[in-house]
Chains A and B, each alone.
Chain A
Amino acid sequence: MFSNWKRAGVKIALVLAVGIVFWWGCSGKKEMAGSGDAASKVYVAPGSYDEFYAFLSGGFSGQVAAYGLPSGRLLRVIPVFAVNPENGYGYSEETKGMFNSTHGFIPWDDSHHPELSKTDDVPDGRWLFINSNNTPRIARIDLSTFRTAEILEIPNSGGNHASPFATENTEYVVAATRFSVPIPDRDVPINSFKENFKGTLTFVKVDQTSGNMDIAFQILAPGFDYDLSHAGKGPSSGWFFFSTYNTEQAHTLLEINASQKDKDFILAVNWKKAEEYVKQGKAKDWDGEYYHNVFNESTQMAESNLKKGVKMLIPSECPGLLYLMPCPKSPHGADVDPSGEYIVGGGKLATVIPVFSFSKMQKAIEAKAFDGEVEGIPVLKYDEVIAGEVKEPGLGPLHTEFDGKGFAYTSHFVSSEIVKWKIGTWEVVDRMPAYYSIGHLMIPGGDSRQPWGKYVLAMNKITKDRYLPTGPELNQSAQLIDITGDKMKLLLDFPTVGEPHYAQGIAAELVTKHQKKIFDINENKHPHVTKSEKDARVERKGNEVRVYMTAARSHFSPDNIEGIKVGDVVYFHVTNLEQDWDIAHGFAIKGGDNAELLLMPGETLTYRWTPKKAGIYPFYCTDFCSALHQEMQGYIRVSAANANVPISFGTGK
């Protein structure tokens, strides 16, 4: 009886298993590559280069990831707003200063929107800017080294979301606060929001030679949430457009309370006028402390300065500075088409995609076609500024980019699709499902005057079953889509780092042409550089010990050190003397409560160490550098605090 049941059980299990497999195969109708020739379109032969760089923000990873397109190959993760023990960024004495803020040392942030520097509104491959959303800052990455060169804190801001979009020639990058807060910040009841909370729009000047940023001026704006932005171009040159939501000014349960009104606003800023007002002395001197951290490539050291005070423009005292364009509903994207005439609002909760006309806006301003005002800022009549609406585009339109051939591509989060529509007729011409729940999308140069309209990259929020599962936590997914034909074609899926919010793409040669391969040792002005193995040494001053160490394949010098004592503060100033591309060395000490150092050719980095116990401490090179890499090691002798062991050191003797 029992065995019969058992046999039957096995049969049932088998039938069930087959059923499940069939069912899974059926219900899991996953979209595979959309067209037969997809593989060949994304195949970049071994040793060959991709056509485009794509820079995707890392979101909650705080970093930026660089990929090649069309292959989707991950080229490099650039550490920006999060410390990176992998190479010592944020741990080495040289890089710690990059994380200074008025809130102290901040080891993490949430990076959202990369923005390439531009010349004549075309990406030029010099720098990449990116915002941190949590503790308001903007970073500049030098694309000759793929390193964070500068981090500027934004004062008088609650969270830097609408940032760091750039003007046509990168004269400014902007930073508008997501959270309105008391400006300046102070202790007030939260329910005094309407009375006390304000937004700010910050204009950050960029030096065209060094790339260095500084705050030029701020504009005190109504207490809304500022979401995204883009600068005008061509005819709309001199203007900036910011999307706003929570114009209801709710401070709790925003998902309901900030979704009450049918329309929020696109805020248009005449920044040329702002410059004039500042020049005329109309800006007020406001409090506002902020850190400005610049990595000096010559001294190879972060220079961190606390700055005080900003110039603040008050809109009610500056006529013609700001205008509000009603925009349905809780808009995300504020995207300007390549001609500069159209501004597309991506209303998350809207049933249409509204497209505003810059020329109509100018006429409406001239004719004073206002529909009231908010805090002295005129509200333009919707009908007087709208060029057209894309009807029934999909659910949850978020963000739009352009192909330069007369079409726009809008991501739709709720209906999980990209919708292609025609500029001028506003008709939907194609749809492409996204797997799953797309946030932003990116066409290389697709927010510029001259898009490279070959691909659109979807950055999806939900991954589910697209890859081999990795437990409950899955990497976000990107999808590459061919947009050269009438119909979009899905080419490729690839997993990403962190949570990409937005991305920038650029023709590879604009970046490769000024790549740095090494740091010239002759230009190394680090205060503790050791330029020859001859000068390698150990110096004691009280309980401070400085080790001037060199690294070259395949030894450190010195590699035997004695005379260190418990209680000492030891600085290992390690210089990589190699001068050939990609000959890196690493440095790590047993028990060191610090991250390792990774040293590129010609670079000096410093490892701070406070040994706690007497004994022998091995150290070694962590980056496989040569056939004798495993021999690249040494010993440090640590003696008791009261020992009489003198400092001694050597290599090979």
Chain B
Amino acid sequence: MKTRIMFVALLITSVMLWSCGEASGENAKQPVKTGANAGAGSNAAKSNPSGLNTFQLEHGVGPITAELKLAAVNATLAKTGEKIFETKCFSCHRLDDRYVGPPLREVTKRRKPEYVVNMILNPDEMIKKHPDAKKLLAEYMTPMTFQNVTKDEAMAILEYFRYSAEQKKK
């Protein structure tokens, strides 16, 4: 009886092994998927583990690829930004309190303006690639999503942050 059980067990194992071998054989035929950044190619990309270049590390990944030239804070534009913020961002962000995401009153002191705009316009890629954004996702657990804002609207929201940073906490 024992030997029969052994035999059956062996048979099952060999079948499993065989099918296993088949599967890995299939896998071997699949092209190896490379990181999304592979081949994107600057030297900086090769020298740091995130694959981002120096500009991207400081200013974020997204449509803003050069430094913004910002004038003094424009209160009217900040007001426009506040309206957009209330609809598109307020369910997750407050100025002074931790909510679904981090408080944002001083975000322009922590981050470059280009980073802020890239995060608004391209959060999906930012939280996948940028080391700081990845850290925040690990902390807050709810990924930031694109809220269907235009570049102009994102600039207005940035203006609201710049304006708020100058105001005292309520």
Query: Contact at B147–A553, with CB atoms within 8 Å?
Result: no
Contacts of B88 in A (CB 8 A): 521, 577, 579
Contacts of B87 in A (CB 8 A): 521-522, 531-532, 577
0 or 1 for each of B134-153: is its CB under 8 Å from A? (1 = yes) = 00000001110111110000
**Which one of A550, A552, A627 lies within 8 Å of B141 (CB-CB)?**
A627
Q: Tell me if A416 counts as interface (CB < 8 A to partner B).
A: no
Query: Contact at B91–A533, with CB atoms within 8 Å?
Result: yes
Known: A577-B91, A579-B88. A553 touches B148 (CB 8 A): no
Residue of A nearest to B123 (CB): A580
At the interface, is chain A mostly helix, strand, loop or mixed? loop
Q: How far is the CB of B96 from chain A (nearest CB, A)?
A: 13
Query: Contact at B142–A626, with CB atoms within 8 Å?
Result: yes
Query: Contact at A628–B141, with CB atoms within 8 Å?
Result: yes
Q: Tell me if B22 counts as interface (CB < 8 A to partner A).
A: no
**Which residues of chain A (530-564) have a CB below 8 Å from chain B?**
531-534, 550, 552-555, 557
Q: Tell me if A248 counts as interface (CB < 8 A to partner B).
A: no
0 or 1 for each of A562-590: is its CB under 8 Å from B? (1 = yes) = 00000000000000011110010000000
Query: Contact at A518–B148, with CB atoms within 8 Å?
Result: yes
Contacts of A578 in B (CB 8 A): 145, 147
User: For the complex, what is the distance from the CA of A184 to the CA of B117, rounded to whole Å?
Assistant: 65
0 or 1 for each of B112-142: is its CB under 8 Å from A? (1 = yes) = 0000000000000000000000000000011
Query: Contact at B92–A553, with CB atoms within 8 Å?
Result: yes
At the interface, is chain B mostly helix, strand, loop or mixed? loop
**Which one of B90, B142, B149 lies within 8 Å of A553 (CB-CB)?**
B142
Q: Tell me if B45 counts as interface (CB < 8 A to partner A).
A: no
- The total of Cβ contacts below 8 Å across the A-B interface reads 54
Contacts of B57 in A (CB 8 A): none
**Which residues of chain B (52-94) have a CB below 8 Å from chain A?**
86-88, 90-92
User: For the complex, what is the distance from the CA of A520 to the CA of B91, rounded to whole Å?
Assistant: 16
Query: Contact at B91–A580, with CB atoms within 8 Å?
Result: no
Q: Tell me if B95 counts as interface (CB < 8 A to partner A).
A: no
Query: Contact at B142–A534, with CB atoms within 8 Å?
Result: no
Contacts of B90 in A (CB 8 A): 532-534
**Which one of A554, A557, A580, A628 lies within 8 Å of B147 (CB-CB)?**
A580
Q: How far is the CB of A302 from chain B (nearest CB, A)?
A: 25
Q: How far is the CB of B108 from chain A (nearest CB, A)?
A: 22
User: For the complex, what is the distance from the CA of A533 to the CA of B149, rounded to whole Å?
Assistant: 18
Q: How far is the CB of A579 from chain B (nearest CB, A)?
A: 4
User: For the complex, what is the distance from the CA of A320 to the CA of B99, rounded to whole Å?
Assistant: 74
User: For the complex, what is the distance from the CA of A557 to the CA of B91, rounded to whole Å?
Assistant: 9
Chain A contributes a number of interface residues (CB within 8 A of B) equal to 24
Q: Tell me if B165 counts as interface (CB < 8 A to partner A).
A: no
Q: Tell me if B100 counts as interface (CB < 8 A to partner A).
A: yes
Contacts of A579 in B (CB 8 A): 88, 145-149
Residue of B nearest to A577 (CB): B91
Known: A555-B100, A627-B141. A550 touches B148 (CB 8 A): no
Contacts of A552 in B (CB 8 A): 91-92, 100
Query: Contact at B148–A520, with CB atoms within 8 Å?
Result: yes
Query: Contact at A550–B142, with CB atoms within 8 Å?
Result: no
Chain B interface size, under 10 / 10 to 19 / 20 to 34 / 35 or more: 10 to 19
Q: How far is the CB of B1 from chain A (nearest CB, A)?
A: 19
Residue of B nearest to A602 (CB): B148
Contacts of B145 in A (CB 8 A): 578-580, 583
Q: How far is the CB of B25 from chain A (nearest CB, A)?
A: 18
Query: Contact at A627–B148, with CB atoms within 8 Å?
Result: no
Query: Contact at A628–B142, with CB atoms within 8 Å?
Result: yes
Known: A521-B88, A550-B91, A579-B88. A627 touches B146 (CB 8 A): no
Q: How far is the CB of B71 from chain A (nearest CB, A)?
A: 27
Contacts of B143 in A (CB 8 A): 626
Query: Contact at A553–B100, with CB atoms within 8 Å?
Result: yes
User: For the complex, what is the distance from the CA of A577 to the CA of B84, rounded to whole Å?
Assistant: 12
User: For the complex, what is the distance from the CA of A521 to the CA of B91, rounded to whole Å?
Assistant: 13
Q: How far is the CB of A568 from chain B (nearest CB, A)?
A: 27
Contacts of B149 in A (CB 8 A): 579
Q: How far is the CB of A624 from chain B (nearest CB, A)?
A: 13
Residue of B nearest to A550 (CB): B91
Query: Contact at A580–B141, with CB atoms within 8 Å?
Result: no
Contacts of A628 in B (CB 8 A): 141-142
Contacts of A522 in B (CB 8 A): 87
Contacts of A534 in B (CB 8 A): 86, 90
Q: How far is the CB of A587 from chain B (nearest CB, A)?
A: 15
User: For the complex, what is the distance from the CA of A533 to the CA of B97, rounded to whole Å?
Assistant: 15
Known: A552-B91, A552-B100, A555-B100. A532 touches B146 (CB 8 A): no
User: For the complex, what is the distance from the CA of A521 to the CA of B141, rounded to whole Å?
Assistant: 25
Q: How far is the CB of B81 from chain A (nearest CB, A)?
A: 14
Contacts of A550 in B (CB 8 A): 91
User: For the complex, what is the distance from the CA of A522 to the CA of B148, rounded to whole Å?
Assistant: 10
Contacts of B141 in A (CB 8 A): 626-628
Contacts of A518 in B (CB 8 A): 148
Query: Contact at B142–A580, with CB atoms within 8 Å?
Result: no
0 or 1 for each of A362-385: is its CB under 8 Å from B? (1 = yes) = 000000000000000000000000
User: For the complex, what is the distance from the CA of A301 to the CA of B148, rounded to whole Å?
Assistant: 23
Contacts of A580 in B (CB 8 A): 145-148
**Which residues of chain B (22-64) have a CB below 8 Å from chain A?**
none
Q: How far is the CB of A48 from chain B (nearest CB, A)?
A: 14
Q: How far is the CB of A122 from chain B (nearest CB, A)?
A: 33
Residue of B nearest to A626 (CB): B142
**Which residues of chain A (428-463) have a CB below 8 Å from chain B?**
none
Q: How far is the CB of A292 from chain B (nearest CB, A)?
A: 32
Q: How far is the CB of A414 from chain B (nearest CB, A)?
A: 45
Contacts of A532 in B (CB 8 A): 86-87, 90-91
Contacts of B91 in A (CB 8 A): 532-533, 550, 552, 555, 557, 577
Q: How far is the CB of B98 from chain A (nearest CB, A)?
A: 11
Contacts of B146 in A (CB 8 A): 579-580
Contacts of A554 in B (CB 8 A): 100, 142
Contacts of B142 in A (CB 8 A): 553-554, 626-628
Residue of A nearest to B86 (CB): A532
Contacts of B148 in A (CB 8 A): 518, 520-521, 579-580, 602
Max count, chain A CB within 10 A of own CB: residue among B86, B87, B100: B87
User: For the complex, what is the distance from the CA of A437 to the CA of B86, rounded to whole Å?
Assistant: 59
Query: 7 A-B Cβ contacts within 8 A?
Result: A520-B148, A550-B91, A553-B100, A626-B142, A626-B143, A627-B141, A628-B142
Extra contacts besides A579-B146, A626-B141, A626-B143 (16): CB < 8 Å: A532-B86, A532-B87, A532-B90, A532-B91, A533-B86, A533-B90, A550-B91, A552-B91, A552-B92, A553-B92, A555-B91, A577-B87, A579-B145, A580-B145, A580-B146, A628-B142
**Which B residues have a C-beta under 8 Å from some C-beta of A?**
86-88, 90-92, 99-100, 141-143, 145-149
Which 5 pairs show the lowest CB-CB distances between chains A and B? A552-B91, A580-B145, A579-B148, A532-B86, A579-B147
**Which A residues have a C-beta under 8 Å from some C-beta of B?**
518, 520-522, 531-534, 550, 552-555, 557, 577-580, 583, 602, 626-628, 652
